[in-house]
Amino acid sequence: MDVSVVIPVYNEEGNLPELFKRLCATMDSLGKTWEVIFVNDGSQDRSLSILRDFHKERPDVVKIIDFNGNFGQHTAIISAFERVSGDIVVTLDADLQNPPEEIGKLLDKVNEGYDAVGGYRKQREDNAMRKYASKIVNFARDKMTSIRMKDQGCMLRAYKRSIVDAITKTNEHSMFIPALAYTFAANPTEIEVEHSARYSGESKYNLYKLIRLNFDLITGFTLMPLQFFTIFGFLASMGSMALVCLLLFRRFVLGSEAEGVFTLFAILFMLVSIVMVGIGLIGEYIGRIYQVVQARPKYMLRELIGFDK
Ligand code: UDP
Ligand code: MG
């Protein structure tokens, strides 16, 4: 099998028919053997029954992994990675923000010898808040990790099978697939791809899920936040030591004083709140360790459709 296309689906009933039509048209025209693995990530709408119809219509190419709950986009993709048969694996979103017509371009790049080909969005069609937040996270990721990519949020990507197999062997619970693929790739590259507004429905990421995802990205790939924190703690304790000396000196030379109490409070509050951030930060890393130590399954299957095994 030449190509496996992997698509996570969470309540995408309005997008699936159009997506499937355009995907089949594109893939059939490439003259390669292909399959598409849809992962139903606990949809509560008609997505699953639509996917079943696709399987009836094209049993030669359609496979379905049905989760018994919502385990998240990246976990859904991993479950498909564990079951792909293609030499090249392509990921894309189900909402038609990533035009399937761009797949050919990605495959050409892989065939030139790149083992991970990322897409970056020419003109991103999302709201201003998302674009702005994305810029900040891209910047933070660029400064803090060794991952160099233009557009980490774009899921229209192609990988050689060896990269996908390496990803499935990692034991982490919360992962960020494009970044993980980048760390395993010998020669990753990026190409410009089109981006459209969501065809139907709404984004499945609320603010909380977005923050979680981006914490996974940063804590999964660098210890720098912890190191910054230690350095800051060190500097702050030097500063407070100097302040204590100064106050002691004033106390003995000039006598006791009561002014400046509120300044001290302000400094204290600031330091306490920074300590709280630090505790939260350590918690982020411990939480990741905890999940790995528990070794619970990353997802639960209800059914596999179209797989031989
Ligand atoms: N998705 C998923 N599980 C989730 C959230 C999203 O499988 O818990 C899928 C969703 O159906 C879509 C893709 O992941 O195919 C990207 O989601 P979305 O378009 O909502 O994200 P955005 O484009 O807003 O970042
Ligand atoms: Mg989307």
Does residue 64 form part of some domain?
yes
Q: Which ligand ends up closest to the CA of 207?
A: 1
Q: Minimal CA–CA distance to 63: which of 78, 47, 84? A: 84
Instruction: Let me know if residue 55 belongs to a domain.
Output: yes
Domain count, the chain: 2
Pocket lining: 93 vs ligand 1, CB cutoff 6 Å: yes
Residue 231 CB burial class (10 angstroms; 0-12, 13-18, ≥19) = exposed
Same domain, 212 and 177: yes
Rounded to 5 degrees, φ, ψ at 56 are -65, -40
Distance 103 CA to ligand 2 centre (A): 17
Same domain, 65 and 163: yes
pLDDT digits (tens, 9 = 90+) for 124-182: 999 999 999 999 999 999 999 999 999 999 999 999 999 999 999 998 888 899 999 99
Domain coverage including residue 201? 3-221
- Identify whether residues 70 and 117 lie together within a single domain: yes
Task: Count CB atoms within 10 A of the CB of residue 305.
Answer: 17
**pLDDT at residue 88 above 70?**
yes
User: Is the predicted pLDDT of residue 309 greater than 70, yes or no?
Assistant: no
Note the pLDDT tens digit of each residue in 1-37.
Answer: 999 999 999 999 999 999 999 999 999 999 999 999 9
Q: Is 157 helix (H, G, I), strand (E, B) or coil?
A: strand
Question: 109 C-alpha to center of ligand 2: Å?
Answer: 24
pTM tops 0.85: yes
Query: Which among 221, 251, 277 is the end of a domain?
Result: 221
| Ligand that comes closest to the CA of residue 130 | 1
309 falls within a domain: no
